[in-house]
Copies of this chain bind each other. A is one copy, B any other.
Amino acid sequence: MRVLVTGAAGFIGSHLTEALLAAGHEVVGYDNFSTGQERFLAAALAHPRFTLHRADLLDQAALDAAMAGCEAVFHLAANADVRFGTQHPRRDTEQNIIATQNVLEAMRAQGVRRILFSSTGSVYGEASVFPTPEDAPFPVQTSLYGASKLAGEGLIAAYCEGFGFHGTVFRFVSILGPRYSHGHVFDFARKLLADPTVLPVLGDGRQRKSYLHVEDCVSAMLIAFAAAPAPYAVYNLGQDHWCEVNDSIRWITEEMGLSPRLEYSGGRRGWVGDNPFIFLDCRRIRALGWAPRHSIEASVRETLRWLLANRWILEARA
């Protein structure tokens, strides 16, 4: 099958691209390289079934051209940094809402009906139920990122109803693994390389986090893609355990052989809009036969080792 992957040069997109190629699909990659990395696509670019469109999702003509002849779309491109939403309040709207509608309109123009979308556990806001199921009580958004992803989900659902699309939405916890290039493990590694004696920690370090390895994330998406579920289906992707930020600090400093002084900013949240706990009920995707193969600790340690072996990414995302 010919599949378009938006954000193909990103952390998750590049892994998904490789997995789709390995599964025999033809992959059309689409990326504006605003945060994507050419190096992440090294293997794909050498593959005969891969083509790359270097363009922005706000360029509808380029998107329409890339969409031609595709049978399905994995729409992963997004502004994925939940933390800085309030500094650029329109960025999430443009890159996560408008861009998603552009993808849907390109699909409509080209007769493509299947879309798989990377949403986020942030859409649950401050959940009242743990682990949080897909049909949790009507959420209240706590970040522009979450609000923009919720809007993207809503548009996809409306296109499923209105235009007979087939939509699959994945609500991720934070993802770790090789090519990871933003988030707290990244920030900690960069800070410790700059000053190994002290580590500033936002909040009290007790924030609980449930991380998933990128290989497990990609395998879940491929299983749902093959399963062809209901016309519109939502799947949580996460672990059924969690760690505290303090656990990951311990694993990171062990990997680096460091004993920094920890300077907590205090408080229960890392930043405004930081959700103290995203812990998802994943029985729905597990019912399709999926199970994660990497623990949180193994994922954090592997991520850290990858960052130390690929320090160029610390510069590239500075």
Contact = CB atoms under 8 A, between A and B. Distances in A.
Contacts of A272: 161-162
B158 A146 contact: yes
Contacts of A148: 151, 154
Interface of A: 85-86, 89-90, 93, 97-98, 101, 104-105, 108, 125, 134-144, 146-148, 150-151, 153-155, 157-159, 161-163, 232, 234, 272-273
Contact of A161 (B135, B142, B163): B142
B85 A162 contact: yes
A229 to B, nearest CB: 13
B162 A143 contact: yes
A243 to B, nearest CB: 25
A89 to B, nearest CB: 7
B150 A273 contact: no
Give the 4 A-B residue pairs with the shortest CB-CB distance, closest first. A147-B154, A151-B151, A141-B157, A141-B154
Protomer copies: 2
B158 A141 contact: yes
A111 to B, nearest CB: 15
A90 B109 CA distance: 14
Given A86-B163, A89-B101, A97-B97, A157 B151 contact: no
Contacts of A125: 157
Contact of A138 (B90, B104, B136, B151): B136
Interface of A is mostly: helix
B151 A147 contact: yes
A101 B93 contact: yes
Given A101-B93, A105-B90, A162-B272, A147 B142 contact: no
Contacts of A155: 93, 141, 144, 147, 151
Contacts of A141: 153-155, 157-158, 161
Given A136-B137, A139-B138, A273 B151 contact: no
Contacts of A136: 137-138
A158 B143 contact: yes
Q: Which of A86, A139, A157 has the most CB of B within 10 A?
A: A157
Contacts of A159: 89
Given A136-B138, A150-B154, A158-B143, A98 B89 contact: no
A112 to B, nearest CB: 15
A137 B138 CA distance: 5
